[in-house]
């Protein structure tokens, strides 16, 4: 598997291209970030960005600060992407391994919040990895896996909420029973009224995943989005108590 490229260097390449006058090739030797990265690395990045239609006209040139480099210019698409870091991130997600949509980007932001939160060390690594996989599965259109992972995250958060209130429950309780217990015994805790509908989607997806003969519709993209954002809300509310 290819090693993902670093977005920071991609942005430096695009920024240098945007600052270069039309009709001129970027001289990487004049840009401190590109010069520090070195000829070989910059050439690799320029080649990959050319495949994505972001840079064009790559050609050898002798740098004004020395060395043989690959000069380049931004394509029209590259100039359109240059002002927006968000749009550029999505455009190069294929080579950076980053989020490709607004939804997976919201998951990535939640993951960063969780990395800086106080999460029980017993399940911290698994919790963070599961969050990361939610975004990856969504971008790949694997909605059953996406929803199943959301169910896993919800179970962890709801059980943690009950434990925080000194309420012990059967370890085999799933999301639906956990929600019912919280509503009955932790009446001051807010839970989205639509959460039980989300649970139904999760349960349907789990049945589909484990019973090959069940004729149950594969969840839609919209259902996956609904479950992701409901999960994000529960995670954030849970972390606010940390």
pTM check: above 0.85: no
The C-alpha atoms of residue 107 and residue 134 are separated, in whole angstroms, by 7
Specify the CATH number for the domain of residue 59: 1.10.10
Q: Are 227 and 146 in contact (CB under 8 A)?
A: yes
Query: Which of 96, 112, 146 lies at the terminal end of a domain, its last residue?
Result: 96
Residue 1 domain-assigned?
no
Question: Helix 143-164 vs helix 124-139: angle between axes, to the nearest 10 degrees?
Answer: 150
Give the pLDDT confidence of 2-30 residue by residue, as tens digits.
Answer: 678 999 999 999 999 999 988 899 999 99
Residue 151's nearest CA partner among 75, 203, 219 is: 203
Range of the domain at 87: 7-96
How many domains in the chain? Answer: 2
Give yes or no: residues 45 and 163 share one domain. no
Block means of pLDDT (10 residues each) for the chain, 242 residues, are: 83 97 92 96 96 95 94 96 91 88 91 91 93 92 92 93 91 89 90 86 69 65 94 90 66
The encoded tokens of residue 25 equal: 């090739």
Please give the angle made by the CA atoms of 171, 106 and 139, to the nearest 5 degrees. Answer: 85
DSSP state of 26: B
**How does 78-107 read in b/e, with b if 16+ C-beta sit within 10 Å?**
beebbeeeeebbbbbbebbebbbeebbbbb
Give yes or no: residues 140 and 154 share one domain. yes
């Amino acid at each position: 598997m290819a090693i993902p490229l670093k977005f920071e260097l991609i942005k430096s390449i695009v920024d240098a291209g945007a600052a270069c006058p039309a009709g001129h090739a970027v001289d990487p030797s004049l840009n401190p970030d590109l010069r520090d990265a070195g000829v070989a690395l910059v050439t690799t990045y320029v080649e990959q960005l050319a495949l994505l239609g972001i840079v064009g006209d790559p050609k050898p040139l002798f740098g004004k600060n020395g060395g043989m480099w690959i000069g380049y210019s931004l394509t029209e698409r590259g100039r359109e992407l240059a002002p927006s870091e968000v749009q550029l991130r999505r455009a190069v997600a294929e080579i950076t391994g980053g989020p490709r949509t607004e939804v997976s980007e919201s998951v990535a932001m939640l993951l960063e919040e969780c990395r800086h939160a106080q999460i029980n060390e017993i399940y911290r690594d698994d919790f963070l990895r599961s969050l990361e996989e939610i975004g990856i599965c969504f971008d790949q259109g694997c909605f059953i896996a996406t929803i199943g992972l959301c169910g896993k995250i919800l179970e962890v958060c709801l059980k943690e909420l009950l434990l925080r209130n000194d309420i012990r429950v059967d370890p085999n309780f799933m999301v639906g029973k956990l929600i019912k217990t919280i509503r009955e015994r932790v009446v001051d805790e807010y839970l989205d009224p639509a959460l039980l509908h989300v649970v139904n989607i999760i349960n349907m997806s789990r049945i589909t995943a484990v019973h090959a003969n069940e004729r149950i519709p594969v969840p839609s993209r919209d259902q996956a989005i609904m479950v992701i954002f409901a999960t994000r809300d529960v995670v954030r509310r849970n972390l606010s108590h940390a």
